[in-house]
Amino acid sequence: MTEQNTKTITPKANRATLRGRPELYTEYARDQALLNTASKKLWTGVLVAFTLLLPFLLGRDLVGLLTLVFIYAIGGIGLNLVTGYAGQVSLGHAFFVGLGAYTSMFFGGAPSMTLRGLELDMLIWLPMAGIVPMLVGLLVAPLAARVRGLYLAILTLGLVFVGEHLFREARTITGGPQVGRRGAIPEVLGFNFYENQEILGFALRREQIFYFFCFALLVVMGVLARNLARSRMGRAFAAVRDRDIAAEVMGVPLLRTKVIAFGVSSFYAGIAGGLLPVAVGAINPERFNLLFSVEFLAIILIGGVATISGSIIGAAFIVLLPRLVQVTAPYLPLIGEVVSVEIAQRMLFGALIVVFLVLEPRGIYGMWLRMRNYWKAWPFSY
Amino acid sequence: MAMIRPLSEALTGTTVEVPAGQPILEVKDLALRFGGTTAVGGVSFDVKPGELFSIIGPNGAGKTSIFNCISGVYRPQEGSIDFLGDSLLGVRPDAVAGRGIARMFQNIELFDNLTVLDNLMLGRHQHLDYGSFAGMLYVGKAKRIELENRRIVEDVIDFLEIEMFRKFPVGMLPYGVKKRVELGRALCMEPKLLLLDEPVAGMNVEETEDMARFILDIRQELGLAMIMVEHDMGLVMDLADRIMVLDFGKRISIGDPESVQNDPAVIKAYLGEGDEGEADGEDLGARTEALATEEVSS
Ligand SMILES: Nc1ncnc2c1ncn2[C@@H]1O[C@H](COP(=O)(O)OP(=O)(O)O)[C@@H](O)[C@H]1O
Ligand SMILES: [Mg+2]
């Protein structure tokens, strides 16, 4: 596979060759492209079109729920970068999400008698919601990068407890426990992304508009993360995860690489944190607890460690599962009678983490890969 | 028209300029101890530009430890290591790599979950001159640099004849291919000095011959200086310009293959003074091997 033919083949002939043999590349650039086969292009297109159509088919609450999926997915991608790709287990993700939420409220929230808020444009508060947690992440990372495994888990766990305490005490920003605060105002140059609007003659509900906004952001941040993963730094992440001493001998600086992983991860967490209160209306500081961190870990475990699409699948799973249990509960035995719906949700959540950890460490994405390979090799699959 | 390039065109950074007669690497009185055990006990040697310098000796003699001192994984207690005139003491492993020293490990240290391509691209890590943010955008400069380096990696793949494994995760490849990939990864670093730790250990005759051919071709095409640790005496005698013999962390002989072969000290060490001594040596070797593996892969 060398480049020797590229200049003699016209683009048209080139495409024809590709159609016949989808994995024959005549240029490295084509091979390196994100969507490097026709079927990947087709299915991505179909999926995007379907996602854009959904808010017109579903009710308000389901549109809101899917928006939540997008937000969780952004946060999940962040955790997957540091934990899945770079192998640094973090229990502190909830802290960075919370930090993003309160940064957004400080810069973009409305002030009141008891609350501080600068009411700045989303063009300012949303990037800030990512940057502030990123800076804090970069500050903490050199410490975290010196320990590994269990010690790292405990160190990052400490972060959640410190954060929870801070968030509870900083009442003028967070609203305090049990009271909470509304999300920042998602307004860009006068256009509010959480207000009913008429666009090109279409009357759109605020849930629909915010759905499109979060989806667009997820696509952009997903592609950025995917590019990071397949470029210089992403390979360094994987090297540090798999064999840190060999990575160093290859020229990968350990500390720097881990610090960057924590920084980028915290940025993603912070963006998710800025959007979350807008989608759910208002949020209490208690929300950013250990369980929330575990939810993000579940997202990457169930969706697929070290895959971007896995993070999205996992987010859909974690956000939609409780609703699924709720809807199906009346038709299922035991639930509602012996155990409450809420307990059933928790039990299922825990059981899924265990099942995936033991049986399919690569998550749903890994299951999909295996299924695809099975059919590719059929009838000689075993 | 871009054809397959010879290595010398793909890897242009391997040439060194040192004053005539000067060594590229100079190790003096190197001593490394772990608690009570002396891994390396005052060893001196140098490597000339373009030279294939071989280190031999029984298991546990301290060969791998010398490599670990050079690459900055271990910090020796005494002695000096100068590479191209600058000291390597206290220099972190990634910075040693940056100065132009690449390495193949005794126990394969590849990134098993990554493809052959990605493993080789990791060898190019310090040559990829773009930042993380540019990588996220993957347009313009980052994309261009990735493609340029992909070409270099492909040249190395062609050279090592591992084209068909390009997209395979390394973990599932057979042992002999893994060794080649590891050599490839070290080559991709475009080093000025290559450290080979038992490159043919555990290989059959055919694989050994392939590896010997690659080492010879690398010498011929790149004129790269190499240090090779190896137990296969035939290979060492055939390839090496000079040989150093270690025993229990001490240098017992150094010189060209012929003089080393006939050195009474070497003969004594290799044949041993009765069965007892030999058995002891092997026992120690097995123990230290386990230790070293644990340390490097933990
Ligand atoms: N990480 C380590 N901890 C303790 N002792 C070590 C370590 N690495 C090497 N050694 C000791 O150094 C000596 C030389 O080991 P090594 O350099 O691996 O030998 P060789 O490569 O010649 O077989 C052995 O006696 C071993 O016990
Ligand atoms: Mg050894």
pLDDT confidence band for A374 (50 / 70 / 90): confident
Is position A242 within any domain? yes
Please report the pLDDT score of residue B40 as a whole number.
97
Q: How far apart are CA B145 and CA B143, in angstroms?
A: 6
Question: In DSSP terms, which residues pair with B56 in a beta bridge?
Answer: B245
Please report the pLDDT score of residue A24 as a whole number.
64
Is position A31 within any domain? no
Please report the pLDDT score of residue A23 as a whole number.
63
Residue B166 near chain A (CB below 8 Å) = yes
What is the extent of the structural domain holding A174? 47-329+336-377
Is position A33 within any domain? no
SS3 of residue B247 by DSSP: strand
Residue type, A299: I
Q: How far apart are CA B269 and CA B264, in angstroms?
A: 9
Please report the pLDDT score of residue A380 as a whole number.
61
With a CB-CB cutoff of 8 Å, which residues 90-129 of chain B face chain A?
92-94, 96-98, 103, 105, 109-114, 118, 121-123, 125-126, 128
Mean pLDDT of all residues in A16-43: 74
Using most ligand atoms within 8 A of CB, pick from B74, B291, B297 the residue to mutate for ligand 1: B291
DSSP state of A381: -
Please report the pLDDT score of residue A358 as a whole number.
87
- The alpha carbon of B74 and the centre of ligand 2 are apart by a number of angstroms equal to 14
Structure tokens at B208: 């050994």
A80 against A330, higher pLDDT = A80
How many independent structural domains does chain A possess? Answer: 1
Is position A382 within any domain? no
B264 against A382, higher pLDDT = B264
pLDDT confidence band for A140 (50 / 70 / 90): very high
Rg over CA atoms, chain B = 20
Mean pLDDT of all residues in A29-41: 85
Express each pLDDT in A230-260 by its tens digit: 999 999 999 999 999 999 999 999 999 999 9
Q: What is the pLDDT along chain B (298 residues), one digit of tens a residue?
A: 456 688 988 998 888 888 888 999 999 999 999 998 999 999 999 999 999 999 999 999 999 999 999 999 999 999 999 999 999 999 999 999 999 999 999 999 999 999 999 999 999 999 999 999 999 999 999 999 999 999 999 999 999 999 999 999 999 999 999 999 999 999 999 999 999 999 999 999 999 999 999 999 999 999 999 999 999 999 999 999 999 999 999 999 999 999 999 999 998 887 665 444 444 444 433 433 444 444 444 3
Return the residue whose CA atom lies nearest to atom 16 of ligand 1. B62
* The CA-based dihedral angle spanning residues A298, A302, A304, A309, taken in that order and rounded to the nearest 10 degrees: -90
Residue A17 has pLDDT above 70, yes or no: no
Q: Which of B3, B96, B110, B138 best probes binding to A when mutated, by most A CB atoms within 10 angstroms?
A: B138
DSSP H or E stretch at residue A131: helix A122-144
pTM: 0.90
Question: In DSSP terms, which residues pair with A204 in a beta bridge?
Answer: A197
Among A58-62, A160-164, A325-329, B110-114, the minimum mean pLDDT is found in: A325-329
Residue A11 has pLDDT above 50, yes or no: no
Express each pLDDT in A174-206 by its tens digit: 999 999 999 999 999 999 999 998 888 889 999
What distance in Å separates residue B297's CA from the closest CA in chain A? 7
Is position A20 within any domain? no
Report the length, in residues, of chain A. 382
SS3 of residue B26 by DSSP: strand
Residue B18 near chain A (CB below 8 Å) = no
Is position A15 within any domain? no
Q: How far apart are CA A6 and CA A24, in angstroms?
A: 12
What distance in Å separates residue B152's CA from the closest CA in chain A? 11
Please report the pLDDT score of residue B231 as a whole number.
92
Contacts of A28 in chain B (CB under 8 A): 147, 150-151, 154
Please report the pLDDT score of residue B3 as a whole number.
61
Residue A302 has pLDDT above 70, yes or no: yes
Express each pLDDT in A351-367 by its tens digit: 988 898 888 888 998 88
What distance in Å separates residue A283's CA from the closest CA in chain B? 32
Report the length, in residues, of chain B. 298
Mean pLDDT, chain A, rounded, equals 90
Tell me the domains of chain B and their CATH numbers.
7-16+42-297 (3.40.50.300)
Which ligand has the minimum distance to the alpha carbon of residue B201?
2
Please report the pLDDT score of residue B104 as a whole number.
97
Which ligand has the minimum distance to the alpha carbon of residue B75?
1
Tell me, what CATH number does A107's domain have? 1.10.3470
pLDDT confidence band for A22 (50 / 70 / 90): low
Is position A300 within any domain? yes
Please report the pLDDT score of residue A338 as a whole number.
79
Is position A352 within any domain? yes
Q: How far apart are CA B194 and CA B96, in angstroms?
A: 12
% of chain A surpassing 90 pLDDT:
71
pLDDT confidence band for A5 (50 / 70 / 90): very low
Task: For residue A379, count CB atoms less than 10 angstroms from its CB and return exposed for 0-12, middle for 13-18, buried for 19 or more.
Answer: exposed
- Measured between alpha carbons, how far apart are the two ends of chain B, in Å? 47
B155: nearest Cα among B221, B106, B68: B221
